[in-house]
Amino acid sequence: MISTAEKEAEATAVATAPLVGIIIVYKYVRGGLALIASLLLTLSVATGHTSALSRFVHLIRSHATSGWIHLMVEKLLSGSPVRLWLSVAAIAAFDAGITILEAWALQRHLWWAPWLIVVVTSAFVPVEIIALLRHVSVGRVLVLIANVAVAVYLLLRARAGHEELKNRQKKS
């Protein structure tokens, strides 16, 4: 049985690895931007500025790099009832919450942080690939590569930390 102290040591080994600091900053910035987007969407709907949102959606459509964002934009352009706008705001808020949780957990050296990021990031890879197959763009390719690279990097770091912990247990 692995003790809490051993799990914390494993998490610290992952969290102090090179590039993890960059991942933490990226996650906080991305989560903050998603939260701001959610709040702006909600405020726009509440004040009746959905026509401005439609113009914004057309702008996003031509620059979207994330597959799930592109799918949501397509839904919004097919008709934009208030409920759909609020659903997008809720999805953005959820995305912000998960992303900020990932950054916070990595920063706090929680043992499950890398695994959370691997699972969450990997879950969206199929959606990113489908969107990429529908419309190839350099931005989408770069986002897909970055997401896969982060997931693989953290997976390898977490596994290495776990193996190191097992080896220490065998020696003692």
Q: What are the pLDDT digits (tens) for 51-96? A: 777 676 666 655 555 555 666 666 666 665 677 778 878 888 998 9
* pLDDT reported for residue 68: 59
∠ CA(55), CA(60), CA(61), 5° rounding?
95
pTM over 0.85: no
* Alpha helices, DSSP H, located in 65-112: 67-77, 82-107
Closest CA to 114 of 1, 12, 4: 12
Q: How far apart are CA 133 and CA 113, in angstroms?
A: 31
For CA atoms 36, 41, 45, 48, the dihedral sign is: positive
Phi, psi (rounded to 5 degrees) for 2: -90, 130
For the ranges 1-5, 71-75, 131-135, 161-165, the maximum mean pLDDT occurs at 131-135
| Single-letter code of the amino acid located at 59 | L
Structure tokens at 151: 């997931």
Phi, psi (rounded to 5 degrees) for 76: -65, -35
- 101: confidence class by pLDDT, cuts 50, 70, 90: very high
Q: Which comes out higher in pLDDT, residue 135 or 102?
A: 102
Q: How far apart are CA 115 and CA 139, in angstroms?
A: 26
On average, the pLDDT of the chain sits at: 79
Q: How far apart are CA 110 and CA 104, in angstroms?
A: 9
Asked if the model's pLDDT at residue 105 lies above 90, the reply is: yes
Asked if the model's pLDDT at residue 127 lies above 70, the reply is: yes
By three-state DSSP, how is residue 110 classified? coil
- 29: confidence class by pLDDT, cuts 50, 70, 90: very high
Task: State the total domains in the chain.
Answer: 1
Q: Quote the domain boundaries for residue 115.
A: 4-171
Instruction: Output the CA–CA distances (angstroms, integers) from residue 25 to 35, 102, 150, in the order listed.
Output: 15, 11, 13
